[in-house]
C-alpha cells in the first residue's frame, strides 16, 4: 500500500491539494476569493461550476482507476466532456449538489445544471459573488458555538 500511495502522491497535480498529504485547501479558497474580488473590481463576467460526484470513490472501477493514473498528464475537459467521460468509468455527476455561481456581469449564459446559486460552501468556506464575508463569519461563529455547546458539560465539571 505504501508503494501505491507514493506513486499516487507523485502523480497528483497541485490542483488536488485537498487530497494530498501536507497540503491545504486554503490556496483554492483564496484563489476563488481573489477571482471574485478581481471580477468585481474590473466588472468582468465570472461563472464558477462546483461539481460533485455521487459516491466518486465507491463507484470507480479498478481498471478505469489504473488507466486514469497512467493518463494524469492529460488536460482537463470541459463540463460536458467531464460528465461524458466520467460516465465511462462509473462516475455520475450529483446534480443536486453541483451548482453554478455567477456574478452580475456574466449575463444569462445557459448552463445545463439544476442549480444556480448566490452563495456556495466550497471546501468548508462560504463563497458569494458579492465578495462579502459577513455570512461566512456568522456561519463559522454558529459552528463554533455548536461545537462548544456539544462539550459544555465536560468543560463545566
Give the pLDDT of residue 77: 38
Q: What CA–CA distance (Å, rounded) separates 53 from 93?
A: 4
Spatial contact of 136 and 125, defined as CB atoms under 8 Å apart: yes
Q: Count CB-CB contacts under 10 A for residue 65.
A: 12
Spatial contact of 105 and 45, defined as CB atoms under 8 Å apart: yes
The grid coordinates listed for 79 are 463540463
The grid coordinates listed for 118 are 448566490
Residue 17: pLDDT above 60?
Answer: yes
**Partners of 38 in the β-ladder:** none
Q: What CA–CA distance (Å, rounded) separates 105 from 44?
A: 6
Contacts from 11-20 at CB under 8 Å and sequence distance 24+? 11/69, 11/72, 12/72, 13/72, 18/123
What pLDDT digit, counting tens, does each position of 92-151 carry?
Answer: 777 677 777 788 887 766 665 556 778 888 888 899 888 899 999 999 999 999 999 999
What pLDDT digit, counting tens, does each position of 68-85 carry?
Answer: 544 443 323 355 677 777
SS3 call for 139:
helix
Largest pairwise CA distance in the chain: 58
- The dihedral region occupied by 107, where left means phi > 0, alpha psi between -120 and 50, and beta the remainder, is left
Amino acid at each position: 500500500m505504501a508503494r501505491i500511495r507514493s506513486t499516487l502522491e507523485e502523480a497528483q497535480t497541485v490542483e488536488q491539494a485537498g487530497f494530498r498529504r501536507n497540503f491545504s485547501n486554503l490556496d483554492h479558497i483564496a484563489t476563488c476569493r481573489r477571482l471574485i474580488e478581481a471580477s468585481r473590481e474590473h466588472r468582468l463576467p465570472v461563472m464558477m461550476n462546483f461539481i460533485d460526484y455521487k459516491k466518486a470513490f465507491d463507484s470507480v472501477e479498478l481498471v478505469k482507476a489504473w488507466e486514469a493514473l497512467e493518463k494524469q498528464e492529460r488536460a482537463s475537459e470541459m463540463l460536458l466532456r467531464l460528465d461524458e467521460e466520467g460516465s465511462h468509468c462509473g462516475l455520475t455527476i450529483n446534480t443536486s449538489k453541483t451548482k453554478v455561481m455567477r456574478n452580475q456581469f456574466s449575463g444569462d449564459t445557459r448552463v445545463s445544471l439544476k442549480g444556480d446559486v448566490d452563495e456556495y460552501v466550497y471546501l468548508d468556506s462560504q463563497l458569494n459573488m458579492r465578495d462579502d464575508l459577513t455570512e461566512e463569519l456568522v456561519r463559522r461563529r454558529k459552528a463554533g458555538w455548536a461545537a462548544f455547546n456539544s462539550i459544555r458539560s465536560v468543560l463545566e465539571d
